[in-house]
């Protein structure tokens, strides 16, 4: 369809330009990471993509490596040893405030506040797994928990949001409504997927730098 074709052209051109513009970032961030904490430069968690397809989403690592049973593991394993905090994380819409999340490194707080941790996703865009603009890339357990928590109405919204590729940025990221409940966030994503509007995509791209600056 015309929308998908134009959107893909924008993704390829925009992703290539961003990859070149971010060249200093590809050099500086790995150095800062090695000075700040032990662990890999890139973290590639599994996310749910278009039509429910699982893919590896690239991010600059913003979390600590933890020593559990004599083995260095990523912070996702931290929850197994801290079930109470994990339940709070889920109740709070699958997020914690940066200052209360013990998984985040000092550098990681800055990366997340400025969204620099998301920059490697330009390579997901170039490979066709993501788009510059789209719904949030969800974690599979998050979606299953939401279906149980909110029921069939949210399940319909989830299915609609999954008809679009997840984006580096999107309507929720530029809305300024970080404290809204999870079910309202997925409603925003579903509305985006239903619109299929290049004009709306360009509007979101235009707003994204201002949304990033507002977090500093």
Render pLDDT for 123-153 as a digit per residue (tens, 0 to 9).
Answer: 999 999 999 999 999 999 889 888 888 888 8
| pTM (two decimals) | 0.85
Whether 114 contacts 216, CB under 8 Å:
yes
Asked, for residue 94, whether it belongs to a domain, the answer is: no
Asked, for residue 68, whether it belongs to a domain, the answer is: no
Residue 214 has pLDDT above 80, yes or no: no
Render pLDDT for 22-55 as a digit per residue (tens, 0 to 9).
Answer: 999 999 999 999 999 888 899 898 999 999 999 9
Q: How many domains does the chain have?
A: 1
Asked, for residue 139, whether it belongs to a domain, the answer is: yes
Token pair 């971010």 is found at 22
Asked, for residue 95, whether it belongs to a domain, the answer is: no
Asked, for residue 89, whether it belongs to a domain, the answer is: no
Residue 154 structural domain:
2-62+105-213
Asked, for residue 123, whether it belongs to a domain, the answer is: yes
């Amino acid at each position: 369809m015309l929308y998908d074709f134009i959107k893909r052209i924008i993704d390829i051109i925009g992703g290539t330009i961003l990859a070149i513009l971010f060249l200093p970032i590809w050099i500086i961030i790995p150095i800062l990471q090695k000075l700040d904490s032990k662990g890999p430069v890139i973290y590639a968690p599994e996310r749910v993509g278009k039509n429910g397809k699982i893919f590896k989403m690239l991010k600059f690592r913003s979390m600590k490596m933890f020593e559990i049973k004599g083995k260095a593991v990523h912070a996702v394993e931290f929850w197994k040893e801290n079930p109470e905090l994990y339940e709070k994380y889920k109740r709070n819409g699958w997020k914690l405030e940066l200052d209360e999340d013990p998984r985040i490194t000092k550098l990681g707080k800055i990366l997340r506040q400025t969204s620099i941790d998301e920059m490697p996703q330009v390579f997901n865009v170039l490979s066709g797994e993501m788009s510059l603009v789209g719904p949030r890339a969800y974690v599979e357990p998050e979606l299953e928990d939401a279906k149980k928590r909110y029921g069939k109405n949210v399940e319909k919204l989830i299915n609609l949001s999954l008809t679009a590729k997840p984006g580096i940025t999107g309507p929720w990221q530029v809305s300024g409504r970080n404290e809204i409940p999870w079910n309202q966030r997925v409603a925003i994503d579903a509305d985006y997927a239903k619109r299929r509007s290049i004009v709306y995509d360009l509007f979101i791209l235009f707003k994204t730098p201002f949304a990033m600056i507002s977090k500093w």
